[in-house]
Structure 1
Amino acid sequence: MATTRSYWPRGSTTLAAFVIASIALLFAFAPARRAAASRQGLALSAPLPDRVPPGVVLRVGDPVTRWVFEHNGWDKKVPFRIEWAEITGGPEVTEAFHAGALDVGFGASVPPIHAIWMGIPVRIIAFREYADRVSRQAYVFGIAPKAHIRTLADLRGKRIAFSPSQVQAQVVIETLKAAGIRRDEVTLVELSSNIGGDVYTNALASGSIDAAPIRAEVVAQHYIRDFGPRGARLLKHPPFRDDGANVYVPETALADPGKAAALRVFARYWGLAQAWINDHPEELARGYFVEKRGLPIDDARVMAAYYSDVAVPRNWAGAIAYQQAAIDTLAPETKHPRFDAATLFDRRFETIAGDGASPSPGWPQGKS
């Protein structure tokens, strides 16, 4: 029988268990730390400090950015220390924020929203989107081999994977609305996807679900390669945006003047990292996805393409509208309150990552 391939790093099962156990130990103390931080420190309306004091540490969960930083030596140029964490998915970032174990997370539209709904105040400090937002989709629907689904209308009456804390939930709800299918006409099976996609594809292959939104690169390609002969197929979702991605942080990090100053520098380097990836997809494919993740070169190139050809806007009007659409879509479906997406964004950072993506001559070799 064909099997799907996971794109988690080697040995990640043990690492993931260690991270989860560590987070669990910190849970009991997190509320007290957040309460103490909220009573003192830098106001969210105050100008960002421009000097990083000695001894500042940022804990960052973004493995691709880590490789780019270390590959270019930027982790040695920044005036603070970075502790990198192998935490990638929205649910894991939310758990780490709750435990006070992470300062910087990376995720799509829904994870920052879900954090707010879980009572964890966060702010977005950087945003990226596909340069080609018209024809490019981040997700497609994987269809189970015996589901008898050939069009989106055929989703009616079917079992669909649904993860309320991830962007896949937005993809599902938007698709059902566009297809004229009511929520009570399908069965949403709550199932969190992992970064490798094999949770969803294994469920599809086993027939425990009929459809699931899966990433439209290696995950989708391998699903069809492995299960297409048995009747598996892919369907594109209707033309709505699923491409935005955020760097977001807990408000407690922004309340710390030293960390706030470090985040100001980090956001600019993160923007530079996006520009570097755009210009060096083959280097990312070979250096990160082949050497670090163990992917075959063809798969690595597809993954690198997923991370490249992105834009980092200096104006967040479109980003706010994108997040508002996600809030408006999911709030009634998940029984959470609607809120103003603008409150998710720390506008003090609005141009910083975009400036990094279009660096001045000599930067970052010069002053950071």
Structure 2
Amino acid sequence: MKSPYVLDRRAFLSVVAGAVALGVTACAGDDEPDVALASAPLAESVPKGTKLVIGDKEHQKAIEFSGLADSFTFEVEFANLSGGPQTLEAFRAKALDIGAVADIPPIHSHWTGIPTKIVASRFRQDPLNHAIYRLGVAPGVAVGALADIRGKKVAYSPGQAQGALVLRVLHKAGLSKDDVELVELPSTGDVYVTALASRQVEVAPIGGVQVKRYETKYGTDGATTIAHGLRDDPGHLYAPVTVLADPGKAAAIREYVGVWARAWRWREAHPDEWIERYYVKDQGLTTEDGRWLVDNAGVAEIPASWTDAIARHQETIDLLAKETGNKPLKAEDLYDRRYESVAADALSTGGTQ
């Protein structure tokens, strides 16, 4: 099977916008699957002609580099988009079947009228020492501990993992939103780093290679970062309930989740190839930056049971509901437990290539 076709992000979002303009978000038509089918047993095989559109642009490369893309029994189209807002927009337009996000977008989707379910979850082993984010502190601003955030301008992105992390940090520090000045900014790209460097904000959660680059570029000006001491490691695949109600797509998602898990183990077993082919050649980073990202990520934990994850997710939901005024949700309702052991089972049958 040929490598999956990748739909350019700009073209994809244009399609999404057009679909929304045409009223795709209106009530389901006669051909819409009955959402009650979303709890039906998964089919044993994927029907011929089934197709999934998937937004997981980084892990797509691991699936391709590992050769696992050739194993699909259905058509896969990867959309070049990522993150909660883009994924939710695509779900709303019925232009995407699966998205890869952290723990906040599945909550936000329910609060904005697009019910979704998580179908795969991964975490980081030793998550406090392999945190995704650190709190960036603007040059010349004195913040050495979480309590020092009081009175500061803090970057905040509602509906995204970084926004929830800010609320959790405030809670841990014994502070409320009234004790800081929240500045709403999108957390995409280098927005937070630029805002810190220009003192538009004084504190912002920054992640990935941005941490290293921020410290290197602005450290001589007095910029710093501090650890937040909280788990920030959830990573999920999630899909709209209407997609999961389609028996063919539901079966294809099970197959995809198995490949997704094996591709994580491939990344860990081939770090040098992953760094060179993805971080250096595809993303334009240096080998040093790629090595830092691999080392900081550690090993992916893909559990066979979601019980502990659901309990942690409930704590996050309860805090967000209190702080945002949204209706409380049951974390259990955010997970499709038909898929609970699928990823772990795929690894137990030989997940590293």
Q: When the two structures are superposed, what TM-score results if normalisation uses the length of structure 1? A: 0.89
Q: Identity over aligned residues, as a percent?
A: 39
TM-fit CA distance, 1:17: 4.1
Cα 1:256/1:202, change in 2 over 3 Å: same
Contact persistence 2:37–2:246 (CA under 8 A): no
Report whether the alignment pairs 1:323 with 2:316: no
In structure 2, how many angstroms separate the alpha carbons of the residues matched to 1:331 and 1:306? 31
In structure 2, how many angstroms separate the alpha carbons of the residues matched to 1:102 and 1:189? 31
Aligned to 1:161: 155
Cα 1:283/1:308, change in 2 over 3 Å: farther
Report whether the alignment pairs 1:57 with 2:51: yes
- The residue type equivalent to 1:227 in the other structure is Y
- The residue type equivalent to 1:247 in the other structure is L
In structure 1, how many angstroms separate the alpha carbons of the residues matched to 2:200 and 2:344? 43
Q: Secondary structure at the match of 2:238?
A: strand
Contact persistence 1:57–1:82 (CA under 8 A): yes
One of 104, 107, 113 as aligned partner of 2:101: 107
Aligned to 2:176: 182
Cα 1:85/1:39, change in 2 over 3 Å: closer
Unaligned runs of 5+ in 1: 1-14
In structure 2, how many angstroms separate the alpha carbons of the residues matched to 1:132 and 1:213? 20
TM-fit CA distance, 1:332: 1.5
Aligned to 1:210: 202
Report whether the alignment pairs 1:25 with 2:18: yes
Q: How many residues align?
A: 345
Moved more, 203-212 or 166-175: 166-175
Contact persistence 1:281–1:308 (CA under 8 A): no
Contact persistence 1:273–1:357 (CA under 8 A): no
One of 69, 76, 84 as aligned partner of 1:82: 76
CA deviations 1:125-181 (Å, max 9, x no partner) are 000000113433211100011333232222111110111111112211111111122
Cα 1:84/1:218, change in 2 over 3 Å: same
Contact persistence 2:56–2:82 (CA under 8 A): yes
In structure 2, how many angstroms separate the alpha carbons of the residues matched to 1:167 and 1:240? 13
TM-fit CA distance, 1:23: 1.6
In structure 2, how many angstroms separate the alpha carbons of the residues matched to 1:355 and 1:37? 34
**4+ residue runs over 6 A deviation:** none
Q: When the two structures are superposed, what TM-score results if normalisation uses the length of structure 2? A: 0.92
- The residue type equivalent to 2:168 in the other structure is E
TM-fit CA distance, 1:308: 4.7
Cα 1:163/1:204, change in 2 over 3 Å: same
CA deviations 1:211-259 (Å, max 9, x no partner) are 00111x411110011111111110111x321111101011111111111
One of 269, 275, 278 as aligned partner of 2:265: 275
- The residue type equivalent to 2:213 in the other structure is H
In structure 2, how many angstroms separate the alpha carbons of the residues matched to 1:358 and 1:287? 27
Aligned to 1:148: 142
Aligned to 1:299: 289
Contact persistence 1:96–1:102 (CA under 8 A): yes
Moved more, 202-211 or 38-47: 38-47
TM-fit CA distance, 1:45: 2.0
CA RMSD after TM alignment: 1.9
